Structure 1
Amino acid sequence: MSADNKFASTSLEEIDQIHASLRQGFKSGKLKSIAYRKVQILQLGYLLQDNVRRFKDAFAVDLGRPALESAFLELDSTIGDCKVAYDRVEKWAKTEKAPFNLNFFAFGPVVRNEPKGVVPNISPFNYPVWTAIGPIIGAIAAGNCVVLKPSELSANVSGLIAELVPKYMDPDAMRVVMGGIAETTKLLELPWDHILYTGGGRVARIISAAAAKTLSPITLELGGKSPVVIDPKCDLTTAARRILWGKAVNAGQTCIAPDYVLVPRDFEEKFVDALKAAHAEFYPKGALNSSDISTIISAGHFSRIKGLLDKTEGEIVFGGETDESRKFIAPTVVKGVKETDSLMSEELFGPILPVMPVENVDAAIEYINKKDHPLSLYVFSQDAAFKSKVFDNTQSGSAIANDVIIHGGADGLPFGGTGPSGSGYHHGKYSFDEFTHLRASLDSPSWIDKILGSRYPPYTSKKENFLTKNLGVRLPARPSPSQLNVHAKS
């Protein structure tokens, strides 16, 4: 299958022009209109819906991705996000009253939900529609102008986005910048009102340093090694099917894919046997003969993943087949993996699942806490106490029980990491909030000076006593010694 989308880099001079043009578009005030924002949101939805077949073809070329995966993981959910924003933007954008406070109610304090301005979204190759268009639905709903910088690695999908955006979107509101390192570097030399970057930690440090020079605020979504903790009393068949699917879908190139499994040592073989059964169900003719497996994005990524697999000291249970000419790596499970193994050295971002045996759940928690906070943490258990123990004693971007990956599209949930796995949130209302300036506002009537006139010089002890008596805070009773001791022990 081929795609006819051409990837042509944007000139550095044009990037300056795009920046200036969007500044003028924002200053025009047209984005203040909720009706205008809704039109642009709806156009984004139709940009995808009208071209579903072309996007599926482009995904197939860039990622070897089956059509069902493209529809389920990206296209349908992103169109759905457009509908959610279209339906809710009036509510999201409404000015909000501050909580009632006796000292300030007369001022009419409110919070105005206002756009930040012009915002770029620098997105990756692995989900080139969901990461490029998904977050900026909220940015447009909030009234911002947007620059899309899609990945040069997913050249066909990115080229299709670049072709379609001018046909569907107002150029005063959205533009596309194509290219690689040089074009991204040029973008980051300019001042922005908020930057969203999705990708890896190494590049995130470069982008954060560049953003600091212009004092541009930034949101980072960075991934990491997302662990799975197995309770031997889990629904094992369901757990194995979902974990293997989450590792194999999009060839493991998912920032919230289950990266590795922590399983009690005496349950490892039973768990691995369940994964074997799931693999036989998914790929009855074998992985090499399946049309339901995506490929690795580039030769460089293929070599990196294969290199980690070649160096493992664990035992390959199934999979392990590779084909460099197709950039193909079969879904692979490796058991008996140790902490020092090559597969535990970095985020895999490929279809390889290391299974690391541990003594018990406490050992699993201890291992997780020694590492960077992951973007997602998964637990498979039917026991509420087991789930709570893992979630209450770890930190991660999300805490998910008995499924993987699909929480990224769940309506009403934020998507974001913590610490090295990212900062800030997006998806739905959280994208709107991320690109919204909360502007404090109040209107002070003249008669307030009958009460607050004591704030003016000349200052006297009488005025100070009056203000303290009428505006001072009255704290609850001081904690008792017994309460302090309990707190200190806990």
Structure 2
Amino acid sequence: MSHYTPVDEIEPIYSTLDKGFRSGKTKSIAYRKQQLVNLGYLVKDNAERFQEAFKADLGRPVLENSFLELDSTITEIKQAISGVDKWAKTERPPFSLTWSPMRPAIRKEPKGVCLIIVPFNYPLWLAMSPLAGAIAAGNAVVLKPSELTPAIGVLLAELFPKYMDPELYRVVNGAIPETSKLLELSWGHILYTGSGRVAKIVAAAAAKTLTPVSLELGGKSPVVVDSKCDLASGVKRLLWGKVANAGQTCVAPDYVLVQKDFQDTFINALTEAYNSFYPEGPAQSDSVSHIISTGHTERIKRLIDNTQGTVVLGGQVDIETKFVAPTVVRDVKGDDSLMSEEIFGPVLPVVPVDNVEEAIAFINSRDHPLVIYMMSQDSGFKSKVLDNTQSGAAVANEYILHCATENLPFGGLGPSGSGGYHTGKFGFDMFTHLRATLDSPSWCASSSVSLLAATNA
């Protein structure tokens, strides 16, 4: 592809950034803040062009682009600008009579040249959010956009030299050959967001150079429904969380666990919400994103075609236009096609269970999800689910929004990922090395051994 970065240019780009980092330029907090300001203006000045790129790559409604990407991106950059002075300060550990003469301290130092591999589903936000943290921490960065969002990749490659210091921040576009070449290099840190299959490749490559890695993956995030929940508002929030970005969100609710004798009531309420969302049908709506590629559309169609459950809403698929209607399937069993993999599309399986204990056992029999959702007003119900499951996050009565909640870490557990980043200081922390220091004065050198002996006595 003509817009891909030539493979033979990747090592020189890396060398340029390594030289720029070693120059010490990023040690200045003022420099970091200026680059963050530039990053904010890169997004703000070009909002209309990003909207055009989103339309070309994702076919996503303008309002969703603004809410899910542009606004969130600006907010997180502003957080980094306002927080970096405090985050980067050297810390002193709690006072210790034994060690205080040696002035122990924890320096916040950058890791070096870092690599951020960006997914297709949120190609701006999931690039700029971690990038802001990496810049605030003082790192140089190579940003690798997804080859599935070429319009965004081309735009970022054009804008970076205009706004960002090219000695420290670069965009590399490409697919497997280019990414493979990047992974041959030794990085200060790699952040990969995407599928578990590719994450294994990234982690294996990073192991060869002992490069630290953070993985944001996904998986099948369940919704546990309490039959005594606020159903009217709950199903609207659930449906929005499922269909936003055509379900192509790592934290989208993947399936619902509902008590058998409550399934009919739940489906009826969901149907009412569905009809209010799409009064003329989803095919006529201007609020439905398309699927990223024909290949992904075909995959989702196969999952729907092979289900043993009953399609009660939606089900229509158009491969050519990459359209999948928001779809609800009831009476889905654990071994159904819809339960075989992360759906990553606007299809919601409803799995009936006898009670909350069976729902918990169902969740625990599978990989730890990126998030567990609960639809309940009962604190006891929520505590029971929280206390007896494991997941990256747990959210009651809302969907997706925890990713952008200020000062909360975002990340998975085991197969759903590792490491927490995104908002505020957590992104900074991920790209920061905590360097321990001691500075012992000459007058206490002779007593160091005796002090240590007294401490351990």
Task: Tell me what 2:335 maps to.
Answer: 340
Q: Pairwise mapping of residues 98-247 of structure 1 onto structure 2 (< 5 A)?
A: 98-247=93-242
Question: Quick one: which amino acid aligns to residue 288 of structure 2?
Answer: I
Q: CA RMSD in A?
A: 1.1
Q: Spell out, residue by residue over 1:257-283, the C-alpha distance to the aligned partner (whole angstroms, 9 max, x if none).
A: 000000001101111111111111111
| CA distance, structure 2, for counterparts of residue 176 and residue 268 of structure 1 | 49
d(CA) in 2 for partners of 1:401, 1:316: 26
Specify the alignment match of 2:434 in structure 1.
438
CA contact (8 A) 1:7 1:158 kept: no
Determine if the alignment matches structure 1 residue 448 to structure 2 residue 432: no
The amino acid that maps onto 2:445 is D
Partners of 1:7 and 1:155 within 8 A in 2: no
Q: SS of the counterpart of 1:97?
A: coil
**TM-score if structure 2 supplies the norm length?**
0.98
SS at match of 2:119: coil
CA-to-partner distance for each residue in 1:287-344, whole Å, 9 max, x for gaps? 1100100000001100101000000010111100111121000000000000110000
Displacement of 1:449? 3.3
In structure 1, distance between residues paired with 2:164 and 2:50? 17
8 Å Cα contact 1:262/1:364 also seen in 2: yes
Query: Which string of whole-angstrom CA distances, capped at 9 and with x for unpartnered residues, describes residues 432-458 of structure 1?
Result: 00000000011111222353254xxxx
- For 1:431 and 1:82, locate their aligned partners in 2 and report how far apart those are by CA, in whole Å: 11
AA aligned opposite 1:447: W
Aligned residue for 1:65? 60
TM-score after normalising by structure 1? 0.92
Q: Paired residue for 2:21?
A: 26
Aligned equivalent of 1:458: none
Structure-2 residue corresponding to 1:8: 3
What whole-Å deviation, never above 9, does each CA across 1:195-231 have from its counterpart, x for those lacking one? 0000001101011110011111100001000000001
CA contact (8 A) 1:228 1:378 kept: yes
Shift of 1:363: 0.3
Matched with 1:461 is none
Question: Is 1:472 the counterpart of 2:456 in the alignment?
Answer: yes
2:47 corresponds to 1:52: yes
Whole-angstrom distance in 2 between the partners of 1:467 and 1:392: 42
The residue number in structure 2 matching 1:3 is none
Which residue of 51, 69, 74 corresponds with 1:74? Answer: 69
Deviations 1:73-123 (A, max 9, x none): 011011011111001100000000011222211111110000000001011
Query: Does the 8 Å CA contact 1:7/1:159 hold for their aligned counterparts?
Result: no
The alignment status of 1:289 with 2:284, answered yes or no, reads yes
344-353 or 56-65: bigger deviation: 56-65
- What number of residue pairs does the alignment pair up? 456
CA shift digits 1:122-159 (9 cap, x unpaired): 11100000111111100000000000000010111121
Match of 2:442, as an amino acid? S
Aligned equivalent of 1:266, options 242, 261, 281:
261
Q: Is the 8 A contact 2:16 2:168 kept in 1?
A: no
List gaps (5 residues or longer) in structure 1.
1-5, 455-465, 474-490
Matched-pair contact (CA < 8 Å) for 1:378–1:399: yes
1:385 Cα deviation from its structure 2 partner: 1.0
CA contact (8 A) 1:197 1:218 kept: yes
CA distance in 2, matches of 1:34, 1:288: 50
Amino acid aligned to 1:471: T
Alignment of 1:307-326 (within 5 A): 307-326=302-321
User: Which amino acid counterpart does residue 325 of structure 2 have in structure 1?
Assistant: A
